[in-house]
Amino acid sequence: MFVVATAGHVDHGKSTLVRALTGMEPDRWAEERRRGMTIDLGFAWTTLPSGGTVAFVDVPGHERFVPNMLAGVGPVPAALIVVAADEGWMPQSAEHLAALDALGVAYGVLAVTRADLADPGPAMARARAEIAATSLGAVPAVAVSGRTGAGLPELRAALDRLAAGLPAPAVDDPVRLWVDRSFTVRGSGTVVTGTLGAGRLRVGDALELAGADEPVRVRGLHCLGEARTEAAAVARVAVNLRGTPRDRLGRGDALLTPGRFHHTDLVDVRLAGDPAADLPATLTLHVGSAAVPVRVRPLGADTVRLRLARPLPLLVGDRALLRDPGRHHVSGGVRVLDVAPPPLARRGAAAARAQVLTELDGRPDLAGELRRRRLIRAGALLRMGVPVHVEPGRHGPVGAQPVAGDWLADPAYWGRLGERLTEEVARHAREHPLEPGMPVDALRQRLALPDRVLVEALVRAPLRIHAGRVGAANADALPEPVALAVRRVRAEYGDRPFRAPEADRLVDLGLGPREIGAAVRAGALLRLADNVVLLPDALDDAVRVLAGLPQPFTLSAARQALDTTRRVAVPLLELLDRRGATRRLPDDARIVVT
């Protein structure tokens, strides 16, 4: 199937032509038929001589309904431009063409209709010249009459050729279905329709809907009035959603492949063509079937930042258009350069940003994104529309292979980070010689990294991670003076393991709080309380001794059995309680837990 949107001035015969081609009525509303005027989008389809199917999105021509027109053409990459032979080129002919141009529509056919009323020659010549100057370029042109049927076979053949020349749809891309209608079907619930431009939909699929907490489920699918279990792009689809209230969604919403789109309310864009210097500060952004008010902040000569009134699932490279609703005027097309741009807080940031944007053209560029963002998750890039092909589980140093988890890094930046990590660890070791390395989280903060797996990935020999710290591989070797002091303690107290050195003896040995901390972390001493330390094997020995006592035993009995003082016995028993080796009974006696 291929999908074509009509375009052209009010009353030039768009709906009549669609009706003549398809035998279907594109004007769905009674009011439209009463007024003889299209108000909202209409849908009709037919089989072409080749056997292929063409679906039309028929748009209104009246200037009041341009927003509806834009919702129809937004997701459709081909146009049937209709100009009446007897009226010729008119304001909405021009506005519709400007819209197609702004959106970058490159495929089209010109039909000069009402050719039974006037010589189609002049209208055709003018229209061809106007169209040739746009993204559509030279298009085939056919004179037709919706009334007499003259020219219809030629138009059908031209549509067939147009279809044959369209690029193959990206059926494996994620789905972003811009909703153009939503309604309720009795017994089925909510149904939305749209033009599926890429990807495929299946009954049972889960889809993401902006603002909804839970994915929505595809309960049923229709293409051109027929039930399907699957629909692949390009297609007009009607999607029946399970359990989604009708008022939850409408035109301008998008149904998405879950997790594949970044919703953004801030984008940097390039203005297409010759941008007007005096772009109004507020405009409406039209993209897909959505129309969202935006605030415009000029950056460079042809780049601006747009603040959207509500977030949209936009991708790098998306085409959109800006329109001034007050002046009924298409201000121009834009191409999305960045869907997650940096804030412009510092002085001079806007000028610097403008300079960066001169390098961007809306084509996804992995190396460039990494250079600018330095560090980003592959998934985040993918959601911005920058394809990343990572091999799961394979971690490489830099570039397209993640450095850790799904983090990608700019090679130069990653190299600098590695150097800075080494420097920070060395500095920490100088400033804290008794600590066995720098805590991973302190390093993470110091290097301003968002995830500790990145710190871990940066650690290289001779550094290593041990017990949550990064240090030299021999970092738990105690500094020599401390090691000497510990050896002395061992020599003096080895045969009376529950006698702790008195405070002044510790001072004599050179064991201040920091040295004791280092020895405790290294497992060379056991700290019971401030200035109360034992050799580390004392705990197991104590349990053995206490287990030999009649149970339960008192503090005093324990103190005597261990041959020690209350200064040691009290915190030692409390430590054993905490470790579950002993249990304190209500009368303060204890038992050894076996």
Ligand X SMILES: Nc1nc2c(ncn2[C@@H]2O[C@H](COP(=O)(O)OP(=O)(O)OP(=O)(O)O)[C@@H](O)[C@H]2O)c(=O)[nH]1
Q: Which residues are near Mg ion by CB under 5 A?
A: 14-15, 38
User: From residue 202, how far is each of 192, 218, 236, 240, 463 by CA, in Å?
Assistant: 15, 7, 14, 11, 52
Span 18-47, contacts to ligand X by CB under 6 A? 36-38
Binding residue (CB under 6 A) for ligand X from 22, 68, 145, 257: 145
The Cα–Cα gap between 143 and 154 comes to 9
Distance of CA 198 to the CA centre of its chain: 18
Task: Give the range of 140-148, 262-270, 325-333, 364-372 binding ligand X by CB under 6 A.
Answer: 140-148
Residue 114 in the binding site for ligand X (CB under 6 A): yes
The Cα–Cα gap between 5 and 538 comes to 85
Q: Which is nearer to ligand X, 114 or 335 (CB)?
A: 114
Q: Which of ligand X, Mg ion, none interacts with 501 (beta carbon under 5 to 8 A by kind)?
A: none
Question: Which residues are CB-contacts of 272 (< 8 A; sequence separation ≥ 6)?
Answer: 101, 102, 104, 332, 333, 334, 335
Q: Which of ligand X, Mg ion, none interacts with 590 (beta carbon under 5 to 8 A by kind)?
A: none
Task: Give the range of 9-17, 229-237, 484-492, 572-580 binding ligand X by CB under 6 A.
Answer: 9-17
Residue 200 in the binding site for ligand X (CB under 6 A): no
Binding residue (CB under 6 A) for ligand X from 54, 60, 74, 515: 60
Dmax over CA atoms of the chain, in Å, equals: 121
- In whole angstroms, the minimum distance from the beta carbon of 86 to Mg ion comes to 16
Nearest one of 431, 408, 500, 423 to 463, comparing CA atoms? 423
User: From residue 332, how far is each of 43, 100, 104, 483 by CA, in Å?
Assistant: 27, 10, 11, 75
Question: CA quadruple 130, 136, 141, 145: dihedral positive or negative?
Answer: negative
Q: Which of ligand X, Mg ion, none interacts with 145 (beta carbon under 5 to 8 A by kind)?
A: ligand X
Q: Which is nearer to ligand X, 14 or 559 (CB)?
A: 14
The Cα–Cα gap between 323 and 355 comes to 26
Token digits for 276? 């007007």
- In whole angstroms, the minimum distance from the beta carbon of 398 to Mg ion comes to 56
- In whole angstroms, the minimum distance from the beta carbon of 115 to ligand X comes to 7
Fill in the amino acid letter for 185.
V
Q: Which is nearer to ligand X, 25 or 451 (CB)?
A: 25
Q: Which is nearer to ligand X, 4 or 357 (CB)?
A: 4
State residue 490 phi and psi, 5-degree precision: -60, -45
Task: Give the range of 59-67, 303-311, 459-467, 546-554 binding ligand X by CB under 6 A.
Answer: 59-67
Q: Which is nearer to ligand X, 114 or 521 (CB)?
A: 114
Task: Give the range of 13-21, 167-175, 383-391, 452-460 binding ligand X by CB under 6 A.
Answer: 13-21
- In whole angstroms, the minimum distance from the beta carbon of 157 to Mg ion comes to 23
User: From residue 484, how far is each of 378, 393, 510 by CA, in Å?
Assistant: 51, 46, 9
Q: Which is nearer to Mg ion, 59 or 532 (CB)?
A: 59
Tell me which residues touch ligand X (CB under 6 A). 8, 10-16, 36-38, 60-62, 113-114, 116-117, 145-147
